[in-house]
Structure 1
């Protein structure tokens, strides 16, 4: 019981919630000031209307409500309210103001925040001086001005128990702030958090990002490991008969594995980056050189200027060639591959052809990844066996 009594005094959340409630009171001041200092005189005396006080009060109240609603419908209000709730109320995540239901939830939050904040703010201004008077009055003579106030006469201030009342008000005040702050903290996820539709959309985006990373790692690291394995095997066979070739193969293995480690570092340390591999069509010569060391014979026919291809399309074109060469090594072994790349002012067309190996099925992450990325850029990709050859065709527009 004592711990529950003093918990609002020791919990940091109480003070953060108190600040948040005071913020609501501060935000309410402009609306109340315009209603009281501008609309009141205009409606009461101006324009010759001379409305009765009740009518003036109703108009002022309607103005405050409409102004708060208009403010809550602004998209920026949801962002600012969410940031304040995250910092002071511990809101896990805030939602976007993409739909009208989201904006109306912001309106509800703003109304509750301003109403509760105004109440707590008013008590924060009024109660502390009264508590000080309760503590000090038994020691001091009550001035005639204060003695004439009915509130002070009603409490019979000046008695020995007055400080106890002041202490009780302090305890009650902290508990009131804790209760009201906890209420706001409980309402925040409902009114400021993401909707079910938004949560689903974020889950889909996260899943898409994971799939993208899996595809990137499969293409880059998978290619390197396949090539490195074949290069190591080739170097081992010719180590005595052709040491020069063996040294070149081992050097290529070292370079490619370092590149693979860099890709892994990017994947694990910068998951939010747009790409894991910045290689483009300009790097095809290095790719083909490392692949040929693994025993694959590559004949490249490049038509057009790779520098004229947009960076994103150029990167995807490089990945298509890399994945095609990896698939050839995996399924057909050391064969000849014909790679034709045609660059026109608005399109990139690629055609890769190689003899079929023992495995005629190319379904898997590689081919599926090529198709997904091509579709994401508005293009298409097809891979199929044609006679004794396997052919991969990719069309990427921009």
Structure 2
């Protein structure tokens, strides 16, 4: 019983009833002005439906009166934009005609059922049938009073049912068109891509800075040399400053402040700073750069920098300061990146490609990373981020064990998709 009565306690049930009655009011106003020409309101509403702004007006009214959360309910399925196509206009015309018809039906049902309840109450009190009574009943029968709730209950059920029907029609006829849904989906996709890009930026820049700081601090403590400690602190300071610039730039984007970041995103032209940071962390780094890096398109150069940064971060995090070779080459319309390092004791010797989404270590290989932390290179999002960056640029990436080395290889076309 409570479940059946619950809709009657909701505000939206009665605002939907009001929405249905508006059609009755419109028709009643015309009857007050003219007793004939009942088809004129129908034609007039049809012509109004072709006005582009009419769809927005009806959508706003439908949201206010039909949606449980009011006009701010973007998830209501009811659009509040003007008609952009003829299909939108025709749907608006159909909506207006159906709204008028259901409004007249609601008014008729309300009058008939309330009148029937009144007649039953009058007959139960001993009064005879009134001249305009809908159901002539002989008076004097007290048990008529027991039937009074029946038309009232039917009226309440009609209010709930017709309100739900009106809401479904609004979502179907005033809802977003296929073009509007596609535009909303594209906008949502762009937002998700931007969030994913920002997440990768934070992971690469801040993760690299923290890795360098941890490695430098640990090496300085183990060395016990004031001179080495001084160099380690200088490297930590420089890396931290660069990470703060990256963080400030990303935060400006998130705040949508419209301000320019303190510095642009780093490109392969800034690779020397990245390589020096890795050398300062103790890695025996051998770098080979060939080809015109200045001619590499901006998107490819920026993503290439992040890929090299993530690969070096993985080296420091999982293998430590081991001999590492970095090759950056521009030739034949492609950017080739190759980062390889010697496998340190305890580094996972996986033979699977960690970029294939499997992420399972090969049988018989250690599952824990360097330092016994219980994490392998596949556990984080770094290598997955390298794959995503390469795929977005139309390139390919692979990583895994090659002999006694761990190798990350990436190829990016210079004229691929951006």
User: What is the TM-score of this pair, normalised by structure 1?
Assistant: 0.57
Question: Counterpart of 2:277?
Answer: 294
> Aligned residue for 2:289?
none
**Are 1:163 and 2:145 matched, yes or no?**
yes
Name the counterpart of 2:91.
105
1:71 to 1:98, Cα distance in 2 relative to 1, 3 A: closer
Change (3 A) 1:37 1:12: closer
The count of residues paired between Structure 1 and Structure 2 equals 316
CA shift at 1:171, angstroms? 1.7
Q: Which structure carries more relative contact order (alpha carbon 8 Å, separation 6+)? A: 1
Matches within 5 A, 1:318-333: 323=303, 325-329=305-309
Contact 1:24-1:116 within 8 A present in 2 as well: yes
CA distance in 2, matches of 1:356, 1:215: 20
Instruction: State which of 118, 125, 129 in structure 1 corresponds to 2:104.
Output: 118
**Alpha-carbon spacing, 1:185–1:356, altered in 2? closer, same or farther (3 Å):** closer
User: Considering only aligned residues, what root-mean-square deviation do their CA atoms show, in Å?
Assistant: 5.3
Q: Which runs of 5+ in 2 are unaligned?
A: 281-296, 313-323, 329-334, 341-385, 396-409
Which whole-Å CA distance do the structure 2 matches of 1:67 and 1:28 have between them?
19
Aligned ranges 1:1-398 → 2 under 5 Å: 3=1, 8-12=4-8, 16-26=12-22, 28-30=24-26, 32-33=28-29, 35-38=30-33, 40=34, 53=36, 56-58=37-39, 60-67=40-47, 69-70=49-50, 74-84=54-64, 85-87=66-68, 92-95=76-79, 97-124=83-110, 127-128=113-114, 131-132=117-118, 134-139=120-125, 141=127, 149-151=131-133, 154-239=136-221, 240=225, 241-250=227-236, 279-281=261-263, 291=274, 294-295=277-278, 323=303, 325-329=305-309, 358=339, 364-366=387-389
**How far does the alpha carbon of each residue in 1:62-118 deviate from its partner, in whole angstroms, 9 at most, with x for none?**
544435534686241353145233337997423454433233223323322332233
2:300–2:393 contact (8 Å) kept in structure 1? yes
Shift of the 328–200 alpha-carbon distance from structure 1 to 2, 3 Å rule, reads: same
Task: Give structure 1 stretches of 5+ with no counterpart.
Answer: 42-52, 298-315, 338-353, 373-383
Decide whether aligned partners of structure 1 residues 157 and 219 sit closer, same or farther in structure 2, where only a CA change above 3 A counts: same
Give the drift of 1:366: 4.1
- Are residues 70 and 358 of structure 1, via their aligned partners in 2, closer, same or farther at CA, if it must alter by over 3 Å? closer
Q: 1:220 Cα deviation (Å)?
A: 3.2
1:204, distance to aligned residue in structure 2 (A): 3.7
Q: Would you say the 8 A contact 2:95–2:173 is kept in 1?
A: yes
Q: When you count helix as a share of all residues, which structure comes out higher?
A: 1
Q: Displacement, 1:149?
A: 0.4
Separation of aligned partners in 2, 1:355 and 1:200? 37
